């Protein structure tokens, strides 16, 4: 059985950016596809933490409802 897909419009939250159309089976898959071009994610090293704290960067904690992206 083939997985059903939809075409999702993935756009920046702020005005002015370019929207992309992505065929995917879930909106979180479409967002991940687009985000992979713009971001990387890795565990922060001790040096990363020190440099960020020196710049005044605060640690963000996601809310429980953010563990799953809305549909």
pTM of this prediction exceeds 0.75: no
Nearest to 20 by CA among 3, 37, 39, 5: 37
- Tell me 15's DSSP state: T
The pLDDT tens digits for 20-62 are: 999 999 999 999 999 999 899 999 999 999 999 999 999 999 8
pLDDT of residue 66: 56
Q: List, in sequence order, every beta strand (DSSP E) within 1-71.
A: 6-10, 20-24
Cα 6 from Cα 29, distance rounded (Å) = 11
């Amino acid at each position: 059985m083939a997985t059903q897909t939809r075409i999702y419009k993935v756009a920046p939250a702020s005005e002015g950016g370019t929207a992309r159309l992505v065929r995917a089976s879930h909106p979180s898959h479409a967002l991940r596809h687009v985000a992979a071009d713009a971001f990387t994610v890795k565990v922060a090293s001790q040096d990363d933490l020190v440099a960020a704290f020196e710049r005044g960067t605060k640690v963000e904690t996601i809310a429980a409802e953010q563990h799953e992206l809305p549909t």
